[in-house]
Each structure stands twice: as structure tokens, then as C-alpha cells.
């Protein structure tokens, strides 16, 4: 029974780690979604600053808009990199969650096997005691009659 208690404590620690990793995975997913939303916003901004064909625009406005679009392109590129990094982080955390979940399930199986072994020992001991009592009762009946 002590072994089961020790494994149970270890399982509880593993479960706590799993819960912490799930929290980290949720935070990583939120960060990834935020990066995706910012990238979408930047991409939408680029399309808003496009000139239509035949539209007359001053050269100064054209230069300023081109420079601004260039900055938007750079920001989009940096945001794509941030999004890729957050995706890698999200995958890593999710992988750790899966591995930790396996640890918890392994602990559950060990506990279950040990409890089954203990219960089988108890059942055998009970059966042995019942057999001995039955033999004693049978011996008494034979002595009396």
C-alpha cells in the first residue's frame, strides 16, 4: 500500500505539471492568434493604400505612400516571423502536453496494476482463511458423529 501511495503522490505531481503545461499551451495559442490578427491587420492596411488606375496623384503623395507601404511590408515580414516563432512555440508546448499526458496515464496504469495485485492478494488470503475454516468445520462434524 505504501508503494501505491508513493506512486499516487508522484502521479499528483505529474498531473499538476500537466495542468501547468495546459495553461502554457492556452497562453501560447492566444499569443499565436494575436500575431495572426496583427498580420491580418497589416495586410489589410497595405490594400487600403493602393492607388487605382487612372487616379491622378502628386509625386510627393506617391513617394510618401510608397515609403509607408514599404514600412508596412517590413512590418508584415517581421510579423510573419513572429507568427512563425509563436507557431513553433505552440507546437512545442502541445508536444510537451501530450508527453506529460502519457506520463499521467502511465502512472494511472501502474497504480491500477498495483491495486489489482493488492486486491488479488487479499482475495487469496480471504479464500485461504475460508478454506481453513471450512476444513475445521468439516473436521468437527466428523468428530461429533
Residue ranges of domains in the chain, CATH in brackets:
2-144 (1.10.287)
Q: What is the pLDDT of residue 51?
A: 66
Look at phi and psi of residue 54 and say left if phi exceeds 0, alpha if psi is from -120 to 50, else beta. left
Q: What is the pLDDT of residue 139?
A: 86
Q: What is the pLDDT of residue 82?
A: 95
| 10-residue mean pLDDT series, the chain (145 residues) | 84 94 96 95 83 72 86 94 96 97 94 93 94 90 78
Q: What is the pLDDT of residue 34?
A: 96
Residues 23, 126 contacting (CB under 8 angstroms): no
Model pTM?
A: 0.71
Amino acid at each position: 500500500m505504501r508503494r501505491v501511495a508513493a506512486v499516487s503522490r508522484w502521479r499528483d505531481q505529474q498531473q499538476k505539471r500537466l495542468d501547468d503545461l495546459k495553461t502554457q499551451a492556452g497562453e501560447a495559442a492566444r499569443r499565436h492568434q494575436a500575431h495572426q490578427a496583427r498580420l491580418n491587420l497589416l495586410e489589410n492596411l497595405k490594400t487600403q493604400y493602393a492607388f487605382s488606375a487612372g487616379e491622378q496623384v502628386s509625386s510627393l503623395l506617391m513617394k510618401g505612400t510608397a515609403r509607408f507601404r514599404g514600412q508596412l511590408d517590413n512590418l508584415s515580414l517581421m510579423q510573419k516571423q513572429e507568427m512563425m516563432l509563436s507557431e513553433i512555440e505552440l507546437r512545442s508546448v502541445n508536444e510537451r502536453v501530450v508527453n506529460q499526458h502519457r506520463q499521467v496515464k502511465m502512472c494511472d496504469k501502474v497504480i491500477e496494476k498495483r491495486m489489482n495485485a493488492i486486491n488479488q492478494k487479499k482475495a487469496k488470503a480471504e479464500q485461504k482463511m475460508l478454506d481453513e475454516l471450512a476444513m475445521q468445520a468439516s473436521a468437527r462434524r466428523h468428530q461429533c458423529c
